[in-house]
Amino acid sequence: RLQEDEAAASPKHPREVMDPREAAQAIFAPMARAMQKYLRTTRQQPYHSMESIISHLQFCITHNMTPKAFLERYLTPGPTL
């Protein structure tokens, strides 16, 4: 704990706080390809734009939700035939 306080006060480690939108974009970038592939495979892609996914991720970050809470929207089973 003491080391964290020292690191926060140290000029070598400035702490920049990202806003939720920036954080969502930074998190989404590495997972975008896999997410799009999953949505295409499960035929959900027409229902979720890149912007809607980033907005949902931003909402989850803002409200300190778990990764599972973010994914639940996309993991719900579709209609059975």
Of 21, 17, 18, nearest in space to 55 by CA: 21
Digitized pLDDT (tens) for each residue of the chain, 81 residues in all: 545 555 555 556 567 888 999 999 999 999 999 999 999 999 999 999 999 999 999 999 999 999 999 999 999 776 666
List Cβ<8 Å contacts ≥24 apart for 46-55.
Answer: 48/74, 53/28, 54/21, 54/24, 54/25, 54/28, 55/24
Instruction: Kindly report the pTM of this predicted structure.
Output: 0.72
